[in-house]
Amino acid sequence: MKILKNSLKLLFITSILFLLCSNVVLASELSNIDITSEEAVNTETTNAKIKSMMQTQEEAVEAYNVLLDSFDTGNFNYVYPDEYAGAYVEGSTLYILFTTDESNYLSHYKSLLGQYNCIEYLLVEHSQNELNQAMETAANYLSGSYQVGALYIDVMNNNAVIEVVDSNVSKANNSLLEAASTPDISSDIMDMIQIKPGSYSEPVKSYNLVAGNQIKVGNYYYTLGVCGTFNGNKVAVTAGHGVTSGSYVRYLTNVVQFGVVSKVQFANNQVGDFSYFSTNYPSADTYVTTPLVRYSTGATTPFKGTVSSLPVGTYIYKFGKTTGESYLRVTAVNVSVPIEQKDGTIINIRLMTRAVHIKGTTHAGDSGGPIRYNLSFAGITSSVSKDGTTMHFTPYSILQQNGFKAYVNY
């Protein structure tokens, strides 16, 4: 399959008149980082600053979800318009990327999002569809000689990233460069692909009805992600890896089961990593589903809402039964994550969200734990990179598409 450049691809527009007359800005004008590692050392400073950042991003996150909801969907994924190139948050601004500046095209989105004052439109060279096609072609080629890791679109840099595991990045890049001169792969592909070192993510396995508390599913420990309903029945959610349908679930250190797993999703090339378990097992009369979630001090607070998807650049909280509360920033969405199992097999999980740790970490036992955006439920923890710097989570949108509704106290 040959990758061809989009016939609509544009050179970057540098006209001062154009910039003055529209909401389009250039990437070089954007600031980069909002919190320093020195600030992250001071927990009080970090908490206050991240809370402030989240508050300034609320309008941008709301606008992002309105934008996504305007797209068609298929196979649990969005069908992107040909000219759409992604979106991300920087500061309080939602930057929406397109490959065209045609006024009649942009006017549709300006009308759709006209109630929001936080939006800028950014002209870039490659669309999401173009990058996804290039990424798939390059990854298929490299997989013949290299261990291909995570695949994702780097929205801020407008390229596709292919991570190679235990391999020489320069060598892999040269291999792709050589192939780009053949009839099967166009040389254009090299403008769109960035190869980086990577590793297989590990499931945050557990050895061991407030979100963030410990549960035991079968013989392994997890973190409870959130309570809610599935097909009208009360259930709670945790991770899917290592979970078997029909397994009994125990809460905290209790030896008596209170739930039974009714649905598991964790298989190669599936979307998301999660399981649902009922909370109405005969011994469960004393267990009450709540909208409560744990936070840094160990106290609880109710979820006040939900957010289906989070754009790149968003700050979030994660709570796990092992590591407690961590602070992270979303760096990629719709990530294809290769997760290495105990027996060495690789399970590829699609449409995950990646985040980098700012403060704290993720370890065994945190699987299934809640992802929180301010006081809104946003997803559940899945896996962590072997070096511990990044983690992946199943966004709430995937749970919703699979019939789940989170219990929140609006």
Q: Are 216 and 208 in contact (CB under 8 A)?
A: yes
Is residue 3 in some structural domain? no
Binning the chain into helix, strand and coil, the percentages to the nearest 5 are: 25, 40, 40
Q: Which of 315, 355, 334 is nearest to 91 (CA)?
A: 315
Of 182, 200, 218, which residue is a domain's last? 200
Say if residue 360 is in the same domain as residue 241.
yes
Q: Are 3 and 186 in contact (CB under 8 A)?
A: yes
User: In angstroms, rounded to a whole number, what is the distance separating the alpha carbons of residues 319 and 304?
Assistant: 16
User: In angstroms, rounded to a whole number, what is the distance separating the alpha carbons of residues 392 and 355?
Assistant: 6
Q: Which of 339, 293, 332 is nearest to 309 (CA)?
A: 332
Q: Which residue has the higher pLDDT, 177 or 6?
A: 177
Q: Are 259 and 248 in contact (CB under 8 A)?
A: yes
Amino acid 42: pLDDT: 61
Q: Which residue has the higher pLDDT, 276 or 19?
A: 276
Q: What is the pLDDT of residues 313-365, one digit of tens each?
A: 999 999 999 999 999 999 999 999 999 887 889 999 999 999 999 999 999 99
Mean pLDDT for the chain overall: 85
Percent of the chain with pLDDT over 70: 86
Backbone angles phi, psi at 53, to 5 degrees: -60, -45
Q: Are 87 and 312 in contact (CB under 8 A)?
A: yes
Q: What is the pLDDT of residues 84-138, one digit of tens each?
A: 999 999 999 999 999 998 888 889 999 999 999 999 999 999 999 999 999 999 9
Amino acid 27: pLDDT: 36
Is residue 137 in some structural domain? yes
Q: How far apart are the first and last CA of the chain?
A: 50
Q: Which residue has the higher pLDDT, 205 or 160?
A: 160
- Cα–chain center distance at 202: 16
Say if residue 217 is in the same domain as residue 176.
no
The dihedral sign for the CA sequence 106, 120, 309, 57:
negative
Q: What is the pLDDT of residues 127-178, one digit of tens each?
A: 999 999 999 999 999 988 999 999 999 999 999 999 998 778 999 988 888 8
Query: Identity (one letter) of the amino acid at 63?
Result: A
Amino acid 202: pLDDT: 74
Q: What is the pLDDT of residues 25-46, one digit of tens each?
A: 433 333 333 444 444 446 666 7
Amino acid 166: pLDDT: 76
Say if residue 258 is in the same domain as residue 380.
yes
DSSP three-state, residue 133? helix
Is residue 4 in some structural domain? no
Average pLDDT value for residue range 222-238: 94
CATH number, domain containing residue 334: 2.40.10.10
Percent of the chain with pLDDT over 90: 63
Is residue 173 in some structural domain? yes
Is residue 337 in some structural domain? yes
Say if residue 158 is in the same domain as residue 263.
no
Say if residue 49 is in the same domain as residue 132.
no
Of 154, 169, 200, which residue is a domain's last? 200
Say if residue 162 is in the same domain as residue 270.
no
Q: How many helices (H) and strands (E) does the chain have?
A: 7, 28
Say if residue 396 is in the same domain as residue 247.
yes
Say if residue 171 is in the same domain as residue 83.
no
Q: Are 140 and 133 in contact (CB under 8 A)?
A: no
Say if residue 219 is in the same domain as residue 343.
yes
Domain that holds residue 228: 203-406
Confidence category of residue 11, pLDDT binned at 50, 70, 90: very low
Greatest extent of the chain over all pairs of C-alpha atoms, in Å:
70
Q: What angle do CA 389, 374, 39 make, to 5 degrees?
A: 50
Say if residue 271 is in the same domain as residue 381.
yes
CATH number, domain containing residue 153: 3.30.300.50
Confidence category of residue 7, pLDDT binned at 50, 70, 90: very low
Say if residue 279 is in the same domain as residue 303.
yes
Say if residue 50 is in the same domain as residue 179.
no
Q: What is the pLDDT of residues 254-300, one digit of tens each?
A: 877 888 999 999 999 999 999 999 987 665 446 888 999 998 777 89
Confidence category of residue 75, pLDDT binned at 50, 70, 90: confident
Average pLDDT value for residue range 44-62: 88
Is residue 10 in some structural domain? no
Q: How many domains does the chain have?
A: 3
